[in-house]
A = this chain, B = another copy of it.
Amino acid sequence: MQTEVYTAELDRNVHDVIRDFADLRRRGELENVHYLFVTDKIKKLHFGIELDSLLVFDFTKTLRENIKESPETFKPVVAQDREKIEDVVHKFREYDLNSMPIVNKHGVLLGRITSDDIYDIINDQATDQMYHLAGVNDDAEEEEDILKAGKSRAIWLSLNLVTAIAASLVIGLFAETLQSLVALAILMPIVASMGGNAGTQSLTVVVRQLALGNIAKQDAYRTIRKEVLISVANGLFFAVIMGVIASFWFDRGMLGVVIALSMIINLLIAGFFGSVIPLVLKKLKVDPAIGSTVILTTLTDVVGFFSFLGLATIILL
C-alpha cells in the first residue's frame, strides 16, 4: 500500500485542486496518480474521481457541484484495511481497476493499492499454488539460504516417506502372492503410476479453477462428475491397452484381466479424490493446494497396489 494519495475536500474549486496538485508534483511528492480521492474534513472517503473524468469537469465550479450531476459514477470500489488480499485482487480483476483506495472500518482513507502491487500479488499467489502442489514452501525458497529451503522440503519428503511406507505395508500383505508370481512385482508400479498421474491432472485443474474463482459452491457436484467421467473413460482405454500388453508379455491372459480391472478401479479413485480433496479442503477453509498431492498419491498408491495384488490373489492363485 502507498500512503501518498491525491486528495481534496468536497467544497474546493476544481481549478484550485489541480493547481495544488501541480505544486505537489513539482516538489516530486506524488507519482503514478490515477485518482483524486474526495474526502470530508475528517478524511472520510466520499468519492473517487479518475483523472480522465477530472479533465472533463468544469474547472470553475467546486468538486461537489461537478459530482452532483452523477454522484453514483464516482462511488469508488474500496478495500477495507483488514480485507483478505485475494478478495482485493478479485475486485481489481472484476472492475478492471488500476488503483483502489484503502479505508479503515470508519471509511477513513488510509492509502491506495495500485496495479503494480496487483501484478506482484497475482504472481505470488500462482507461485504459492504451484509450490504447494509440489511440496515446496515459497518463503523458505525465497532466500538464498540452502539449509532453510532444504529443511522445508525435508518436512514434505518425510510425509511422503510415511505414505510410501504405508503403501509398502499394503504390498507386504501380499508377500506370498508376489513370491509365487514375480510378474506381479514387475507390473505393479504401472497401476500406481497411472493412478497418480491421472489424479494429479484432476487435482491440478480443480485447485487452479478454485483459485481463479471459477468453481462456485453449487458447481461441486458437476466438477466431481466431470473429473470422474474423464478419469473412468481414460481408465477403460488404458485398461484395454495394458491388459493386452500384460497378457502377451507374460503369456498369461488372466494377468491382463487383473491389471485391466485394477487400472479401472484406480483411475476411478484418482478422478474422484483428485476433485473431492481440494473441494473438501476449500470447504474446511484450508488452502486446497497444501497437502492435497500427498493425500491423493497415498490413496492412488494404496488402492493401486491393493486392487492389483488383491485381484491377482483371488483370480490368479
Q: Which residues of A contact B (CB under 8 A)?
A: 6, 18, 21-22, 25-26, 30, 32-34, 51-56, 92-93, 96-98, 114-116, 118-120, 122-123, 126-127, 129-131, 133-136, 141, 146, 149-150, 153-154, 156-158, 160-161, 164-165, 167-168, 171-172, 175, 178-179, 182, 185-190, 192-194, 197-198, 200-201, 203-205, 207-208, 212, 226, 229-230, 233-234, 237-238, 241-242, 245, 297, 301, 305
Contacts and interface: CB of A to CB of B under 8 A. Distances in A.
Nearest to A150: B230
Contacts of A54: 55
Top-10 shortest CB links A-B: A126-B126, A134-B204, A96-B116, A185-B185, A51-B51, A115-B115, A33-B52, A150-B230, A22-B56, A164-B190
Given A161-B190, A168-B189, 19 more contacts: A51-B52, A92-B119, A98-B115, A115-B119, A126-B129, A134-B204, A150-B229, A154-B238, A156-B201, A157-B198, A161-B242, A164-B189, A164-B193, A165-B245, A167-B189, A168-B187, A178-B178, A189-B189, A189-B305
Contacts of A197: 135, 156-157, 160
A229 to B, nearest CB: 6
A204 B138 CA distance: 11
